[in-house]
Chain A
Amino acid sequence: NAGVIQTPRHKVTGKGQEATLWCEPISGHSAVFWYRQTIVQGLEFLTYFRNQAPIDDSGMPKERFSAQMPNQSHSTLKIQSTQPQDSAVYLCASSLDHSQNTLYFGAGTRLSVL
């Protein structure tokens, strides 16, 4: 069990460019969550999927952020026209079911927007 795998570990983009972040949940886990972590805001929920279906995206900035889970083995978070304020560590987590007492986090992707 390699745990939740996130790639890339670090990504640097210029302002206005697109960034795509990847997450491979633990095999067999039905729920996948995306969070964003900054020093100022702390950990912020973005969106989550259950059995590949989007359940709650209330934390997503609607205009430039989108997330997909095309199959049970990976999810992507895409940020269009990145802005400096998007700089953060983006964390993906998965759980065996919707009950989060089995929540496992990946190491995160550090996004730096110059």
Chain B
Amino acid sequence: GQQVQQSPASLVLQEGENAELQCNFSSTATQLQWFYQRPGGSLVSLLYNPSGTKHTGRLTSTTVTKERRSSLHISSSQITDSGTYFCAMEQGTGSELSFGKGAKLTVSP
């Protein structure tokens, strides 16, 4: 099945610094998405980006399909950005998502 690897596993930043999260996958990306989960909270879809570059607010995702990687860049991080970020992609057309183990981001004042 699809293997999704995320790095780093955890990241500690000071408020205002930028974060760069990486996702590598074992086969051609389909339906690649980034999700966010606040501690004790539900998963929220941040960006759907199977290829190319997508922006929303302070978030930028770049997916290079032929290199089997995607990144999520968070600019000017805020304390409220703290939580776990997951990369996920479909096993095949119209099937379930496979998730990475997540990247725990901690933003301190």
Q: Which residues of A line the B interface, CB within 8 A?
A: 4, 33, 35, 42-43, 45, 48, 50, 55-56, 59, 91, 93, 98-108
Contacts and interface: CB of A to CB of B under 8 A. Distances in A.
Interface in B53-109: 86, 88, 90, 94-102
Nearest to A40: B101
The number of chain B residues touching the other chain, given as a range, is 20 to 34
B51 interface: no
B42 A99 contact: no
B31 A101 contact: yes
B12 interface: no
Contact of A101 (B42, B43, B44, B48): B48
A99 B99 contact: no
A100 B99 CA distance: 13
B42 A91 contact: yes
A25 B97 CA distance: 17
Contacts of B99: 35, 42-43
19 contacts: A4-B42, A33-B96, A33-B97, A42-B100, A42-B102, A43-B88, A45-B96, A48-B96, A56-B95, A91-B42, A91-B43, A93-B43, A99-B94, A101-B31, A103-B33, A103-B45, A104-B45, A105-B44, A106-B42
B41 interface: yes
A59 B96 contact: yes
A112 B102 CA distance: 23
A100 B98 contact: no
Nearest to A6: B42
A42 B87 CA distance: 12
Contacts of B102: 42
A100 B42 contact: no
B48 A107 contact: no
A102 B42 CA distance: 15
Interface centre among A48, A59, A101, A108, by most B CB within 10 Å?
Answer: A101
